[in-house]
Amino acid sequence: MAKNRSLPQDDCDLEKAPTGIHGLDEISLGGLPRGRTTLVCGGPGSGKTLLGMEFLVKGALHYNEPGVFMCFEENIDELTTNLASLGYNLKEIIESKRLVIDPIYVERSEIEETGEYDLEGLFIRLEHAIKSVGAKRVVLDTIESLFAGLSNESILRAELRRLFRWLKDRGMTAVITGERGKDGLTRHGLEEYVSDCVIFLDQRILNQIATRRLRILKYRGSVHGTNEYPFIIGDHGIEVFPITSLSLQYPVSEKRVSSGIPSLDEMLDDKGYYEGSTILISGTAGTGKTSFACKYVDAACRRGEHCLYFSFEESKEQILRNLRSIGTDLKPWVEKGLLEFYNQRPTSYGLESHLISSFRVIKDTKPDAVIIDPISNLSAIGSLRDVKTMLTRMIDHMKNKNITTLLLSLTSDGDSLEGTEEGISSLADTWLILRDLEINEKRTRRIFILKSRGMAHSNKIREFLLSDKGIELLDFKRNTG
């Protein structure tokens, strides 16, 4: 039976050079074409120079492939400062003979458009730099500066082909950066045709929030991910999230874990949730969603599990204080390192930044359980379609890691009972719905289980009480008076 894969398998014999850039090697199925030239193009500030430099630095540090960075716009001091913000000591790498940075200033007025124009001077300088460190990788940043004074297309095309052939003949895995043009990918509109691989970087503003996208437009001799992939530039460098790489081939657990509320466990076949499942708790404001989630957190920490709590509305201290009112003290678990909070307003970043930073925190902390409170706040930074896409990626990622996930969703009185604004209810394994009812001028709370996959569960509507003794579920008795 054929396997279900989101990204195609690469069965070609093309050798690839890993970039070491998180996510990029996955969507390129191994890295950039070894011994060939890759064009990285995009507008100002899109990350072209950083991608090229990171390709060289990680090649030198992790793959024993020294490199040469030839720049036509920035100097060594500027590049050193930029890379220092990502934790790389460029000076140390240069002194260890694993990297050469050769800044060249090209004066446009000195370039004469004659049939004798060529790049011999550049080739001599580049040859010397390559031999000085035994380079395997080369980056030229940017191609427009090198050909700034040329408008004759025939000369330009000939010199471009000659440059690319020179690099290929010497077995260099090369990255050449180019500025985005008005009518084409680059200003000259020729580089993409002679490059073996083309990567396009884009930075756009949506709802006053900057978002970044990466797309592999072309890759000769190799299959690759063809979608747009979100990426961020952070203190770890460039991080690409391969959104289509997650498949429905994750392991499932038979283990059951308590919800932290014995009477709720009774409704869940007297055993609680499945470990590694996704639990959705939805309800209007004040119905107790956070309380139910934190009861699970308390029980999980008592089992020795590590929990990560993403809060988009309240601070850690406020949550800890409020939970004490229902007899739940989570502070000891924080002090023991079993519970960690990640508190951030969604409007601080775009959806992609939230997603990738969340994945980074999950990777660093390796939690057994994750709580996201509430997912409805994400609608402030993206369309419902984008929010659903992000949450789908998040849920798939958690399932692949066998992480039990609790998603809290705030609904309004006018919402459909069997739906959420984010549209992800179908992805939840267990769905608890909390509701307020007013009977005889008295506010009461109700809970019922709309679904719980893979287990017998109660179909009763239960009243529940929040008190200093915790959460107590009662049998619902309809008032007929």
Give the three-class secondary structure for 32. strand
Give buried/exposed letters for 136-162 (b at 16+ CB in 10 A, else e).
bbbbbbbbbbbbbebeeeebbeebbee
Please provide residue 60's backbone torsions phi and psi, each rounded to the nearest 5 degrees: -70, -40
The overall longest dimension of the chain from CA atoms, in Å, is 101
Residue of 194, 153, 406 lying closest to 279 (CA atoms): 406
Alpha helices by DSSP H, 329-454: 331-336, 351-365, 384-400
The contacts of residue 392 (CB under 8 Å, 6+ apart) are 424, 427
User: Are 466 and 477 spatial neighbours (Cβ–Cβ below 8 Å)?
Assistant: no
From residue 227, how far is each of 217, 266, 313, 354 by CA, in Å? 9, 45, 33, 20
The number of residues making up the chain comes to 481
User: Are 373 and 338 spatial neighbours (Cβ–Cβ below 8 Å)?
Assistant: no
Please report the DSSP string for 86-123 in residue order: TT--HHHHHHTTSEEEEE----GGG---STT---HHHH
Q: Which residues are catalytic?
A: 73, 313
Query: 178 in the Ramachandran plot: left (φ > 0), alpha (ψ -120 to 50) or beta?
Result: beta
The H or E element spanning position 312 is none
Cα(338)–Cα(336) distance, rounded to whole angstroms? 6
Give buried/exposed letters for 30-62 (b at 16+ CB in 10 A, else e).
bbbbbbbbbbbbbeeebbbbbbbbbbbbbbbee
